[in-house]
Amino acid sequence: MARAASYNRETALDAAMGVFWEKGFHATSLKDLEATLAMKPGSIYAAFSSKENLYLLALARYFENSRTGFRDQVARASSPLTALAEHFRAYARLAPDDVARKACMLTKTMVDTRTTDPEIAAVTRDYLAAIQSEFSAAFAAARTAGELPPTADPDRLARRFQANVTALRLALHQGMEAGDFGQLAEDMAVEVESLRA
């Protein structure tokens, strides 16, 4: 009979996501993973096959968490356009120790792996496209609800929205002063609200 795994897979993936998000694929060493996951190298490879596979699993976890979080935000909001505007304001309300204050893991991965690890980069591009599709769907819902004019292009708006999210998170990651950051987030939120028909 096979011996039961002595680790919790969900906990291990959360831990791996944290260290990879902080340091990136290349800068994360096996020693980092050993310490973070509290597992020996042999156990890590037995459980996850390779560092690359573990990274892909952690990246998938990050993507799913991000997509679910945005969908929940849209579901809670009074309208789709309100949800999109509040997405910016929510970053200004993050606690100082909130991990979401770091730059987007997908963006960091694209920069880190675009020329060195084509498989990881390709998966990351797909995830970024899927997140953009979530934004586009929210803009389309706002148009259907009459919040946007019939001529509004959800895909074009989603591209702009995603670019602003990336810029906002980078500013947060770099430690922009709280008051300035709050103004920047508010400016982006107001820009979305100004689209209202």
Mean of the per-residue pLDDT values for the chain?
94
pLDDT attached to residue 7: 66
CATH number, domain at 123?
1.10.357.10
How is residue 60 written in tokens?
A: 């998938």
Is there a domain that residue 36 lies in? no
Is there a domain that residue 116 lies in? yes
Is there a domain that residue 5 lies in? no
pLDDT attached to residue 124: 97
Is there a domain that residue 22 lies in? no
Is there a domain that residue 41 lies in? no
Range of the domain at 142: 56-193
- Per-position b or e across 119-158, b if 16+ CB within 10 A of its CB: ebbebbeebbeebbeebbbbbbbbbeeebbeeeeebeebb
2 vs 157: CA distance, rounded Å: 53
Q: Is pLDDT at 2 greater than 60 in this prediction?
A: no
Residues 84-105: tens digit of each pLDDT:
999 999 999 999 888 888 899 9
Do residues 128 and 98 touch, judged by C-beta distance below 8 A?
Answer: no
Task: Note the pTM of the prediction, 2 decimals.
Answer: 0.91
Portion of the chain with pLDDT greater than 90, in percent: 90
Residues 35-54: tens digit of each pLDDT:
999 999 999 999 999 999 99
Short-list 48, 57, 33, CA closest to 105: 57
Is there a domain that residue 150 lies in? yes
Is there a domain that residue 142 lies in? yes
pLDDT attached to residue 1: 38
Is there a domain that residue 12 lies in? no
If one counts the domains in the chain, the total is 1
Average pLDDT over residues 156-167: 97
